């Protein structure tokens, strides 16, 4: 492998332009060789703005640039197809969540990663956010008795829980392990555009979890509350962490620590996830959010959706 990884990007939407492309443009040990978008003019603008060497119109052209790895930052409906093409052509791949829209396609992608031997990392960026890594450290390898995870936003969208709550489901697994039992409830007029989903989850570890995903909130708000071992850990995404025990209450505000300059790509974990992906390629190690681990998050989300009476991922 060359000193610098040759990197390509597919997708130039909001998340790409705000949280991935700025990081890649400033990463010194890579060569940003190409960007592709459904609209070629968007690829041209992104290449010019973020320093990619080429703008291309097709995934075939992107691979022909001689990539070591690529980022799939496109709508979820095309993830499985694009990831499969890249891995079949020897390209290590980072894919935004969800891995695919069905469990069957998720399973196919997992099997393909094992067959090709290519690194595949799923973009559950919240695990890499500083407040989450510090919250994980606060438990010291133990698990909370109770976890309450919320991600609430104004206005619904197509399959809102699949699109919006998957991060919280992943973090509940990250802190509490695998689920034993799930009971969920949703409100909707149209099952494809639910107003909210709530779920109670019993974990094999003995932990109990409550998920709240509302799409009629006043503003975007994301939080995790955990209790156990005479300790409370409160996370208010993306920058506040409070740890309480029987002796003290300590709150860390991350933006002031960065003198007000903390950016969303850092606070929400994107930059740390990107670095982790590159390190896994260079060191031949398994990503924290591997496809096999991510499959378990998708499987749990499917159980929640089905229990709530919503379209699942089957």
Provide the CATH number for the domain around residue 209.
Answer: 3.30.360.10
Backbone phi, psi, residue 144, to 5°: -70, 155
**What pLDDT does residue 263 have?**
87
For residue 260, is pLDDT > 80? Answer: no
Provide the CATH number for the domain around residue 278.
Answer: 3.40.50.720
**Residue 160: which pLDDT band, with cuts at 50, 70 and 90?**
very high
Asked if residue 100 lies in contact with residue 245, where contact means CB atoms within 8 angstroms, the answer is no
Q: Looking at per-residue confidence, does 114 or 164 come out higher?
A: 114
For residue 242, is pLDDT > 90? Answer: yes
Residues 250-275 have a mean pLDDT of 88
β-bridge mates for residue 123, sequence order:
96
Residue 286 and residue 302 in one domain: no
Is 312 among the domain residues? no
Cα gap 204→174, rounded to integer Å = 13
Is 313 among the domain residues? no
Asked if residue 265 lies in contact with residue 18, where contact means CB atoms within 8 angstroms, the answer is yes
Residue 53 and residue 99 in one domain: yes
Is 314 among the domain residues? no
Enter the tokens of residue 33.
Answer: 């060789």
Enter the tokens of residue 78.
Answer: 């095309």
Planar angle of CA 193, 199, 201, nearest 5 degrees: 145
Residue 243 and residue 151 in one domain: yes
Model confidence pLDDT, tens digit, residues 28-42:
999 999 999 999 999
For residue 163, is pLDDT > 90? Answer: no
β-strand 221-228 against 30-36: which pairing, if any? unpaired
Cα gap 209→203, rounded to integer Å = 8
Percent of the chain with pLDDT over 90: 94
Model confidence pLDDT, tens digit, residues 77-105:
999 999 999 999 999 999 999 999 999 99
Number of domains in the chain: 2
Residue 171 and residue 303 in one domain: yes
Model confidence pLDDT, tens digit, residues 177-201:
999 999 999 999 999 999 999 999 9
Neighbours of 108 (CB within 10 A): 16
Cα gap 31→91, rounded to integer Å = 15
Taking the model in full, what pTM does it have?
0.95
Residue 85 and residue 179 in one domain: no
Full residue range of the structural domain in which residue 280 is found:
5-124+271-290
Residue 204 and residue 166 in one domain: yes
**What pLDDT does residue 21 have?**
98
Using alpha carbons, select from 41, 297, 45 the residue that is nearest to residue 169.
Answer: 297
Asked if residue 304 lies in contact with residue 197, where contact means CB atoms within 8 angstroms, the answer is yes
Residue 115 and residue 27 in one domain: yes
Handedness of CA 270, 280, 32, 94 (dihedral sign): negative
């Amino acid at each position: 492998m060359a000193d610098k990884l040759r990197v390509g990007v597919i997708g130039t939407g909001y998340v790409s332009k705000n949280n991935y492309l700025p990081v890649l443009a400033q990463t010194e040990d890579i060569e940003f060789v190409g960007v592709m978008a459904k609209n070629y003019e968007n690829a041209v603008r992104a290449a010019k703005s973020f320093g990619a060497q080429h703008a291309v119109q097709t995934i075939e052209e992107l691979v022909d640039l001689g990539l070591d790895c690529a980022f799939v930052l496109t709508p979820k409906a095309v993830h499985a197809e694009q990831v499969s093409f890249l891995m079949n052509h020897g390209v290590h791949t980072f894919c935004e969540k969800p891995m695919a829209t069905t469990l069957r396609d998720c399973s196919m992608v997992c099997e393909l990663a094992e067959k090709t031997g290519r690194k595949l990392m799923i973009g559950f960026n919240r695990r890499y956010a500083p407040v989450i890594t510090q919250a994980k450290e606060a438990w010291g390898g133990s698990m909370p008795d109770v976890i309450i995870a919320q991600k609430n936003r104004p206005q619904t969208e197509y399959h809102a829980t699949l699109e919006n709550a998957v991060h919280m489901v992943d973090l509940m697994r990250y802190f509490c392990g695998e689920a034993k039992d799930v009971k969920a409830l949703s409100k909707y007029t149209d099952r494809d555009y639910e107003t909210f989903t709530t779920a109670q989850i019993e974990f094999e570890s003995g932990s109990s979890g409550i998920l709240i995903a509302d799409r009629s909130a006043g503003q975007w708000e994301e939080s995790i509350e955990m209790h156990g071992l005479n300790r409370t850990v409160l996370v208010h995404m993306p920058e506040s962490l409070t740890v309480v025990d029987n002796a003290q209450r300590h709150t860390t505000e991350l933006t002031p620590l960065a003198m007000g300059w903390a950016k969303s790509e850092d606070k929400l974990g994107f930059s740390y996830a990107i670095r982790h992906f590159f390190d896994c390629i260079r060191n031949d190690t398994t990503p924290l959010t591997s496809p096999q681990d991510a499959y378990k998050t998708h499987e749990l989300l499917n159980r929640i959706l089905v229990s709530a009476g919503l379209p699942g991922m089957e």
